[in-house]
């Protein structure tokens, strides 16, 4: 990984922490897959865009309805638990 990529990822992580009021280090708890039968959704203000079969990193289990996740493009957002499957 180049220095430029490291700085870009660092900046994205700081923006995430500010936007979601997340304190502490960002640790991946597990990985989950978006249900292949789920409908694809566009992302919103704090929601992550969903693609069928996509594997997401789980950052935090926030409540009974949502999970805070990161996708392969290092974008962060909430995902409904109903569309997530364990790997």
* Number of domains the chain is built from: 1
Q: Do residues 26 and 69 make contact, with C-beta atoms less than 8 angstroms apart? A: no
CATH code: domain of residue 60: 2.30.30.40
What DSSP character marks residue 36? Answer: T
* pTM over cut 0.75: yes
Mean pLDDT of 9-15: 86
| pLDDT tens, residue by residue, 48-57 | 988 889 999 9
- pLDDT > 80? residue 78: yes
Provide the residue range defining the domain that includes 62.
3-86
């Amino acid at each position: 990984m180049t220095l430029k990529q490291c700085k870009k990822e660092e900046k994205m992580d700081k923006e995430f922490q500010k936007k979601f009021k997340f304190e502490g280090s960002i640790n991946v708890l597990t990985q989950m897959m978006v249900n292949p039968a789920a409908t694809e959704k566009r992302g919103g203000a704090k929601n992550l865009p969903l693609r069928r079969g996509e594997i997401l990193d789980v950052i935090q289990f926030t409540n009974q309805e949502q999970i805070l996740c990161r996708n392969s493009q290092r974008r962060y957002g909430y995902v409904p638990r109903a569309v997530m499957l364990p790997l």
